[in-house]
Structure 1
Amino acid sequence: MNIPYRNPVLFADWSDPDVIRVGDTYYLTASSFNRVPGLPVLTSPDLVDWRILGHALPWLTPREHYRVPRPGCGVWAPALRFHDGRFWICYPDPDHGIFVTTARDPAGPWTPPRLVLPGRGLIDPCPLWDDDGRAYLVHGWARSRCGFNNRLTAYPMSPDLARPLTDGTVIVDGDTIDGCRTLEGPKWYRRDGWYWIFAPGGGVTDGWQYAMRSQHVFGPYEPRIVLARGDTDVNGPHQGAWVDDWFLHFQDRGAFGRVVHLQPLRWDDDGWPEIGDHGTPVAGTGSVRATGPATSDTFGGGRPGPQWTWPANPTGDEILAHSGTGLRLACRPGDDLRRLPAVLGQRLPGPRLRAETGLRLDAPPGSRAGLVVLGRTYAWIGLTHRPDGTYLTCRFAEDHGETEHHGEAEDHGERDAADPVLIPAGAAVRLVLTVTDTAQVRFAAEIDGARWDAFPVFTATPGLWIGATLGLFATGPGGHADFDRFDVTGSPPS
């Protein structure tokens, strides 16, 4: 690859990326947590410009368990591999175990996920098929589920990864490595007679990247830190993938989520990988920002594009067919949008953006619909239908104390950010929000061409293990909301 680029190459929440090359094409998957569909599959000709090819999981398993939003649960760090003419994704659900799905075509269809290692706390799996055809699988542990972490466990597996052949063996104990903590996210490789494990340590915000090598598949492994922040502004550079002469990793950027950086990789005279500039991240080789996956949407055929997801398994009747243009969402019961399964969202794209859509609410009193930036806190602008008319409304909700384990929370409710504005019957309403590179959100609206923007600034916040969500919603006792094309541009107005 010889193309100018500027980091991050994916400026949105494509967390825990794993990347492979098959032929001349690169493929990437990432954690999706409680988003549905899950396990996105992206493709690129050059590791810089990416588009969404599809998703490997049309819904989360167990299906009924994920009918409600369960923040912090679902799909954690996956591994993507190509073996024996098939694409393979191993992924963990920390509350259920490790699953495997495969496909001949990365665009799908993918096989239904198969649970191959049941149990709580098993995370971040990666398979390895050795030169002799034997298969193995390594994974980490989540302290929040099993009471311990900082170790990597491996199993010999059947060649189709359907079952382990023996009990697991701890092949790396992070407690024996000086300064090591929160060792997780292993990726397993074979190179020049050595077995390699690339694994992050130190945690999401302030961690680093290890490379570990051994001449025996079950170790012992010799560790070395090969990427750390140094004097750069790239905090926690780790958890990613080695492919060709490159290493992709994430950086936690708060409301923008875990964005993806691309680093050059070379092998030194002692046979160790050197990532970035002598082990520190580089900004890139040019000033041009990469082209990321689509964010705007015309809602062709009344359906959302692949960039949109739900926070829980959908029932199938959230989107209504209609003869017009745009997207029609059914109004579903619900107050706190963090608990609503029917918020249609996408990753908040950075570093700056302007999003705009038109809205018409055809629903009884008590209904509302709008454009939301959703995380631990949220704010939205839209329409509310009251007995005396329809109002332009801007509201926000504070952090409600959501927990990772089960999503239960105390609901602090919403508050008006400004006095609602009664709008004329039949008026055309357009909703606008802008987001700065520090995640400051400003809302505005146009009512029959007249602008309304006297709303306070809202600071976007991440969700649990994910960045903020840019979303559309409709709630109430019945009726529907129509959204016309959704336009996102890269910079807000000054």
Structure 2
Amino acid sequence: MTLYSNPVLDADWPDPDAVRVGDDYWMIASSFNRAPGLPVLHSRDLVSWEHVANALPALPQTGHYALPRHGSGVWAPSLRHHDGLFWIVYPDPDHGIFVLTATDPRGPWSEPWCLVPGRGLIDPCPLWDDDGRAYLVHGWAKSRAGVKNRLTVVEVDPALRRVVGPARTVVDGDELPGFRTLEGPKLYQRDGWYWIFAPAGGVATGWQTAFRSRSVWGPYEHRVVLEQGDTPVNGPHQGAWVDTPDGADWFLHFQDRGVFGRVVHLQPMGWDPDGWPVMGDGGQPVLTHPTPVPGAEPGEPVRSDDFAAPGLVPRWHWQANPGDGWAVADGGGALRLPARPSPRGNLRDQGAVLCQQLPGQPSTWETRVELSGDAPGTRAGVVVLGREYAWAGLVRTPVGVEVTVRRGGAYGDEETVAQEPVPGGAATVVVRAVVDAEGAVTWGWQTTTATGDDDTAWREVAPAWQAHVGHWIGAEVGLFASAPLGADLAPGDGGTFGPVRVTVAGKEA
């Protein structure tokens, strides 16, 4: 018997939704301000996942998202398969509810179109009824709409192009004792019932509820079907009900792990004699369980990158809609990031920071960093980015090149933690970030020779720096190259990186 351990995806894949088509499982997640967005993951067994594509190359409000809009962008999406197409319906809480489709989840995906314009509309999910009609359920964000804790259903046309009927509140959380922040609804049908699976109680402290009714418009009765209980799995929050080809049911949901983001758990799911779902172990999350497919080996998406293939692989994303020439990845074994002008020198303001999620287990990130250019203040390095950040890398000064560790926040200037000239005036070092089980980062660096052979003497910078959460996301590890606004930059100025080597819990990832 092969067992898996939760979380099955121990990194920041917020608000997951998933479907099975044939023997294939497809999952998507929120991406907020990051681009490309709407990551698409694939599995054949629910415990081993590969990041195969990103459905949204850039957010459609191109100019608005040319700068990092932390906490905005793509909130909780839904994924469905209907009439030979895969459908993603996602909310932008500042602009409305959008739809895009594909015949193959690996892409290409259509350009997104707006189904419902408006502010504060979040967490949409469509349902095509047996009679050919279509409906959409969604929640509300009080920060934009002034209301929350309620679920709304509206009839839409089957092509998801327009609203065809009035919206109705079908569940008002204010009328349910103890309910707060009811959100993240997913709409299903089973055995003559309409089902809405939705969490309440807050991302880090809430529970999962099932609502059912004989009519899509209600009235709905409800039960709490998954809660923390005496387990260490706080939340547990919204996700996806999927089945296997042999008819077994499973539920994917997330847990908020703070600096490590919203990690994904897999729960077995059954049904009680009254027809209500039973998730996990009697309504509490399981920590280990036999795999859905016997013999399946759990595994997470690859993180290391040798840049041997042209272009950027799906695991990388920017902090804003990318501009032309932000990266040069020709497949030669290195990545070049031209230096981007930075008005404040604050990396939270810089869209051209190329990132991955921070793994939920202790990890080590290593890459060679080469700085090109003579303009003082030009810099390149590795950053751990959240509401506050720290980075290590190289800075061009009026007299040479220094290896530097700095930290910064949303406001104010960066603070220098350590700096020293690179021996021999070299403009290349190897940078290392070692992240422990609590998210504390220890920076290190070593020199590199002209032939590319690295010195064995690591220079560590102490004390360790505690990583911080982002806005609705976990911390990220990124690469960047920037220069002061108005710097006299030549075309080749910037940073060259690679390969990026990542180990997680002592194994290359």
Please indicate the TM-score interval, normalised by the length of the shorter structure: over 0.9
Q: Does 1:248 align with 2:247?
A: no
- Aligned 8 A contact 2:67 2:320 in 1: yes
- 1:319 — aligned with what? 327
Secondary structure at the aligned position of 1:255 is classed as helix
Q: How many angstroms does 1:323 deviate by?
A: 8.5
For 2:440, the aligned partner's letter is Q
For structure 2, the 5+ residue unaligned runs are 244-248, 449-454
RMSD: 1.6
Q: For the structure 1 residues 123 and 3, does the alpha-carbon distance in structure 2 shift closer, same or farther, using more than 3 Å as the test?
A: farther
Q: How many angstroms does 1:422 deviate by?
A: 3.4
Matches within 5 A, 1:449-488: 449=455, 450-476=457-483, 477=487, 478=489, 479-488=493-502
Secondary structure at the aligned position of 2:266 is classed as strand
- Aligned 8 A contact 2:258 2:469 in 1: yes
For 1:327, the aligned partner's letter is L
Q: How many angstroms does 1:416 deviate by?
A: 1.1
For structure 1, the 5+ residue unaligned runs are 401-410
- 2:263 — aligned with what? 259
Q: How many angstroms does 1:480 deviate by?
A: 1.7
1:165 and 1:320 map into 2 onto residues whose CA distance is 47
* Most deviating of 277-286 and 112-121: 277-286
2:108 and 2:351 map into 1 onto residues whose CA distance is 25
Q: Does 1:268 align with 2:269?
A: no
Secondary structure at the aligned position of 2:165 is classed as coil
Q: For the structure 1 residues 444 and 169, does the alpha-carbon distance in structure 2 shift closer, same or farther, using more than 3 Å as the test?
A: same
Q: For the structure 1 residues 260 and 322, does the alpha-carbon distance in structure 2 shift closer, same or farther, using more than 3 Å as the test?
A: closer
- 2:451 — aligned with what? none
- Counting matched residue pairs gives 481
- 2:21 — aligned with what? 22
1:25 and 1:386 map into 2 onto residues whose CA distance is 53
Q: How many angstroms does 1:116 deviate by?
A: 0.7
Matches within 5 A, 1:172-183: 172-183=171-182
1:12 and 1:108 map into 2 onto residues whose CA distance is 24
TM-score by length of 2: 0.92
- 1:140 — aligned with what? 139
- Aligned 8 A contact 1:302 1:328 in 2: no
- Aligned 8 A contact 2:401 2:427 in 1: no
Q: Deviations over 1:328-361 (max 9, x none)?
A: 0000111100010100001111211111000110
Q: Does 1:436 align with 2:436?
A: yes
Q: For the structure 1 residues 350 and 286, does the alpha-carbon distance in structure 2 shift closer, same or farther, using more than 3 Å as the test?
A: farther
* Most deviating of 342-351 and 292-301: 292-301
1:181 and 1:3 map into 2 onto residues whose CA distance is 39
Q: How many angstroms does 1:423 deviate by?
A: 3.0
Match of 2:286 among 279, 282, 288: 282
Secondary structure at the aligned position of 2:253 is classed as strand
2:475 and 2:298 map into 1 onto residues whose CA distance is 21
1:473 and 1:6 map into 2 onto residues whose CA distance is 35
1:286 and 1:459 map into 2 onto residues whose CA distance is 36
- Aligned 8 A contact 1:202 1:208 in 2: yes
- Aligned 8 A contact 2:134 2:157 in 1: yes
- Aligned 8 A contact 2:179 2:200 in 1: yes
Secondary structure at the aligned position of 2:209 is classed as strand
Q: How many angstroms does 1:55 deviate by?
A: 1.1
Secondary structure at the aligned position of 2:174 is classed as helix
1:412 and 1:3 map into 2 onto residues whose CA distance is 52
Matches within 5 A, 1:69-468: 69-244=68-243, 245-285=249-289, 290-301=298-309, 303-320=311-328, 324-334=332-342, 335-364=345-374, 365-398=376-409, 400=410, 411-426=411-426, 428-448=428-448, 449=455, 450-468=457-475
Q: Deviations over 1:242-268 (max 9, x none)?
A: 111111110001111000000110001
2:372 and 2:317 map into 1 onto residues whose CA distance is 24
1:337 and 1:445 map into 2 onto residues whose CA distance is 20
TM-score by length of 1: 0.95
- Aligned 8 A contact 2:308 2:333 in 1: yes
Q: For the structure 1 residues 3 and 133, does the alpha-carbon distance in structure 2 shift closer, same or farther, using more than 3 Å as the test?
A: farther
1:480 and 1:156 map into 2 onto residues whose CA distance is 52
- Aligned 8 A contact 1:395 1:417 in 2: yes
Secondary structure at the aligned position of 2:65 is classed as helix
